[in-house]
Each structure stands twice: as structure tokens, then as C-alpha cells.
Chain A
């Protein structure tokens, strides 16, 4: 048997290590996120987000934004006579806190089922990954309700025609995704993945990270309420009391000012000679109690 030269063996090993296991080609241009960090300030209500990238001509694109997997506790409602009450608790884990999927054609037409499963794209894959405790719960009802809840909150979305393809250039075909970042998405590090698809398979993928962070006064207040609950409670009481007493002070000053203005003699009373004929007869306005105020008992 012919011996392989050591240098060739090293090169072959390196080449094998660099070749993607799934048959993907190396990623093209990196994803561009605008903005790269979302700041939750006092007037935060979500914000517009733009994702941009480039693929080769003839390829399709699926863009997935995924939140970290979290374990959440839910109350499961059930009927008790005519009313709906919380009957039991369910722990759901293994599902992402956010799942936004943007594509051009229907997912099943773009990628094969095995590929969707491999890359965990689509609600059906989330269904499969989801773990429910206690296991005796009606799993299908819980799963469907979970997706409904997350969809209502806009943190789970599956948007067809959500990717806009640009005009082809020598470098490739640019694409972009524009949407309003859901305000209910909690602060976390989110993963943005763009899959370049061709012939029902993924030929390359690019990844970027999106950070959502609390900033400013709301961040401080949420932290203060959680970490220093007694001090926060005391502050809430004192601030509310000061606000109340301040309002009372302001109201009584305004009232006094209003009374003083009404009680101020009119030019006709100060200069009777300037008053028109008939004025000054009978009860003057200043002698009457101010309108709306009862006379002192």
C-alpha cells in the first residue's frame, strides 16, 4: 500500500474539518441589523427593525428570529359550572420565548420536512420540542393554547411574503425584512438566522445577534421594585402623599386666588363717577358669596 505523505495527510484532515457537515456552503455576507440593540426606555412600545443580507441568484430566503428557550408557568383554565376558573398549573419548557419566521413562499414548498425538522423551523417543530409538566395534561390543548397566547402577544409570527428581494447585482441578490419589533418581547439576547434555500434544502446560513435591554428610569424602577421591595414601597407611599399634599396646596392657592380676583372691586365701584347709569344700585357682586361656595356656617 502506497504511503500518504505527512504534509498531504495534514492538509486532507484540515479540509475535512472545514467542510460543513450538512453540505452547506460557507455563509455569504453577514446579516445587517438596524438597530443592533433595542432599548426599552420610558416610552418603549416596540420599534421598527430591519434585517438585510445577500444571497446568490436563484436562491430563496427564510429568516428566523428566535428567543432563548424559557420555562414558563401557566394556569390552565377549565369550566366550573357556568364560569371559567384556573384549574391547574402547567410548566412549559423547551419552547423559545420568541419565534418570528419570515419567508417568501410557503415553508413546506421552500424546504423539505426533514430540513424543517433539522433547523427547527415552524410551529410544528416548536410543538415537537415543547415539554409539558405534569405530563398527564391534555398536551394538544396546552400546545395549541400556548401558540395562540404567544401569537396574540405578537411574539410568535409566521409571515409569508415577509422577505423583500432586491435587484440582482454581481455580488448577489440583496434581501431585506422590515417589521415592528413586538413590545411584549422580554429583555434578552435574540438570535437572527437567515437560511439561503435552494432545491428544498438549506445551502448556507448566516447568523446575527440582537440584544433587547432595559434602560433608563423604567429599568431602574423595575430593579428597585424587585431588589429593594421595602424601600420601593416606602418610596411609593411618600411620593403619593407628597403628590396629594402638593395638589391640595396648589388647589387651595388657586381657590384663594380665584376668590381674591372675584372679591377685587370693579372699576365701577372704585370710581363711582365712571360707572354707567344704574350701576351700584342694590347688592354688588363682591358682597355675594363666590359662585359655587357655600356661605360660612
Chain B
């Protein structure tokens, strides 16, 4: 059943869109990753223009993360103080990212930069996950690598404006979470991802936040950062397709429920290798698209 996406200006099969969301949601539920970093390239592959895919993906993340935040809030896994600092950083980064996209669109290279950023990030994340999972398999089990949770980074401890975060049980200069989250905010705007796959490891390994608080607080800041990015993309670039975002969100929510149920019966390290392989395959597909000679040497410029 075809459906006309008014902002994207393309007609795509309704079930293909829900299916794409469901596949990513399934992996998300199965493996505990956000999935936004997979959804944008998949949308691009099924014919959604890259700028619309990235912006609408951000919008769909609002739906999926608000559902997660509600659940984590009930369990007390959200640190509002740390979340607010992260949110400020995220919004600052997002504002920078949206302006970067605006400039690149005017120059005609926005779609290209999004593709290259994806190739780089998916390549790095995929390789890291693959190697780590392989090591885990060889060891026989997954071992948490939070080796020295109480050890403070000397550089961070010397920074000014130290702040206590009682819910997380940590103390940091306010600049540390702010800057880290600004970088993730730029990625959110450029790639249309929630940034959880970068932010959670950063919070656990660099900020020493407990894992469950890191996940809940990250979702909290993702929700508001994505809300900010959606608003900015709508006003600045007119690339948010609400219909596309909702269809994808419906698929990913259903997929996540199924994935979470199946995930209980499967081994984590094997699943991680599967995810890493998918990530690397998507990266290779995107790399081929920018290396191989295009069938047509001109493409519509959406910078005007």
C-alpha cells in the first residue's frame, strides 16, 4: 500500500516504512541499542532524501524515547540534575549541528556529509562492537568492563565549577558533561540519531555514572535534545516529515517489544556480533554508494 509523504515528496510503501521501523526496533529491543543510527541509512536506502530521513528519524526518536523515559522515571533511573546539564550541552550541540547542515545544504554537500559521517561512525562503532564481542565469545562470557569505578580522571578533577550529582553518586566539573553532550548534539543534528550508542559508554566510562542511571538519564536528555532538533530542523530546513516519523515509530515500538521478548532467550555476545555485522554491512553499502560511478552526474539541490 503506497503512502505519499508530504514533506519528503515521495511515495513509499506503507508496510515498507513500518517494516523498516520494526526491524530497527526489533534489533533495539533485542540488543538494547537505540537503533537511530541504523534507521536513517535504511530510510535513505528505501528512497527517502537523506536530509528528510535524518530529521524525521530524530522526530520518531521522540516517540520511542518518551516511552522509555516514562518507564525509567518510575524506576528512579533518571538523574534530573545531570540530565539538565547534558540537555543544555545537547541543545547547544544540536544548534551548531543544524547550522552546519544549513551551510552544507547551501553549498550542496549536506547529503554527502551525512553519508560520509555515517560511513565513519558506523565503521568505527561496528568494528569496535565486532572485536569486543569476539573477545567476549573467546572468554566465554560477557564481563562488564567498569574496572575502576571510583577512579577519577585527574584532568577532569582539576577543572573549575565542580558539581555534585547525588542521584548518580558522582562529582564533575559542569563543563565535562556539557562538552561531551554538545559533541553528541552535533551528531544528533547531522545524523538524526539519539546518540545513545555514544553517550551511554561515555557516561559509564568517562563520567563513572552507574549503568542504570546512565541509560535512564541518557534517554531523558535524548528526548529533549531530539525535541529541540526537531523544532530547529522544522524551522531552519523544513525537513521533518511527521507522517514518516510516526509510521516508523509505530513499527519500531512493535519491533522493540518483540525483540525484547526474544532477547531473553538468546546469548548477548552472539547477538552483539550479529548487530556489529549488520552495522558493518550498512556501512559497506553506503561506502559503495559514494565510491561507485553514479548513473547520473546531477542531483537535485535542496539548498534553495
Is B one of A's binding partners?
A: yes
Q: Does A251 lie within 8 Å of B257, measured CB to CB?
A: yes
Q: What 0/1 pattern do residues 218 to 242 of B give for CB contact below 8 A with A? A: 0000010001001111110010101
Asked if B11 contacts A243 (CB within 8 A), the reply is no
A42 at the interface (CB under 8 A from B): yes
Inter-chain CA distance A219–B5, complex, in Å, is: 10
A44 and B70 in contact (CB under 8 A), knowing A77-B299, A148-B295, A232-B234?
A: no
Known contacts A248-B67, A248-B70, A292-B261; A239/B242 CB under 8 A? yes
Interface residue A40 (Cβ < 8 Å from any Cβ of B): yes
Partner of B4, one of A40, A229, A232, A241: A40
Closest-CB distance, A219 to chain B (whole angstroms): 7
Contacts of B245 in A (CB 8 A): 236, 240
Q: How far is the CA of A91 from the CA of B273 in the complex (A)?
A: 47
B238: contacting residue among A84, A229, A243, A292, CB under 8 A? A229
Residues from chain B with a CB closer than 8 A to the CB of A141 are: 297
Selected from B70, B230, B249, B261, the residue in CB contact (under 8 A) with A243 is: B249
Indicate whether A221 reaches chain B with its CB closer than 8 angstroms: yes
Does B150 lie at the interface of the complex (its beta carbon under 8 Å from any beta carbon of A)? no
Q: Verify if A233 is at the interface (C-beta below 8 Å from B).
A: yes
Q: Is B253 an interface residue (CB 8 A)?
A: yes
Q: Given A225-B240, A236-B59, A240-B246, A85 and B112 touching (CB < 8 A)?
A: yes
Give the number of chain A interface residues (Cβ < 8 Å).
Answer: 58
Give the nearest-CB partner of B55 in chain A: A236
The answer to whether A233 touches B294, judged by C-beta atoms less than 8 angstroms apart, is no
Interface membership of A90, Cβ < 8 A = yes
CB-CB under 8 A for A84 and B293, given A225-B234, A233-B231: yes
Contact A149 B4 (CB under 8 A): no
For A41, what are the chain B residues with a Cβ–Cβ distance below 8 Å? 4
- Given A43-B4, A244-B66, does the pair A86, B261 have CB atoms closer than 8 Å? no
Q: CB within 8 Å of B: which of A202-229?
A: 214, 217-219, 221-222, 225-226, 229
Q: Is A89 an interface residue (CB 8 A)?
A: yes
Question: Main secondary structure on chain A at its contact with chain B?
Answer: helix
User: A221-B242, A236-B59 known; A241 and B66 CB under 8 Å?
Assistant: yes
Q: Which residue among B9, B67, B235, B246 has the maximum number of chain A CB atoms within 10 Å of its CB?
A: B67
CA distance A36 to B296 in the complex (A): 33
Check if B296 sits within 8 Å of A145, measured CB to CB. Answer: yes
Q: A42-B3, A241-B63 are in contact. Are A84 and B294 (CB under 8 A)?
A: yes
* Contact indicator B298/A233 (Cβ below 8 Å): no
Question: Within the assembled complex, what's the spacing in Å between the Cα atoms of A184 and B231?
Answer: 28
Return the chain A residue nearest B71 by Cβ: A248
- Bound Cα distance A84, B2 (Å): 32
- Answer whether A225 and B238 are a contact pair too, CB < 8 Å, given A86-B109, A244-B62, A292-B261: yes
Q: Is A73 an interface residue (CB 8 A)?
A: yes
Contact of B233 among A42, A43, A214, A233 (CB under 8 A): A233
B284 at the interface (CB under 8 A from A): no
Please give the distance in Å from B62's CB to the nearest CB on chain A.
4
The distance in angstroms between the C-alpha atoms of A96 and B139, with both chains bound, is 65
Beyond the given pairs A145-B297, A233-B235, A243-B66, 5 more chain A to chain B contacts, judged by CB atoms under 8 angstroms and listed by A's residue number, are: A76-B298, A77-B298, A83-B291, A218-B5, A248-B66
Can you report 7 residue pairs joining A to B where beta carbons are below 8 Å apart? A44-B11, A85-B112, A141-B297, A222-B6, A225-B6, A237-B59, A248-B71
List 5 tightest A-B contacts by C-beta distance, closest first. Answer: A233-B234, A244-B66, A45-B2, A240-B62, A218-B6
- Mark A residues whose CB is within 8 Å of B: 40-46, 72-78, 82-86, 88-90, 141-142, 145-146, 148-149, 152, 183-184, 214, 217-219, 221-222, 225-226, 229-230, 232-237, 239-241, 243-245, 247-248, 251-252, 292
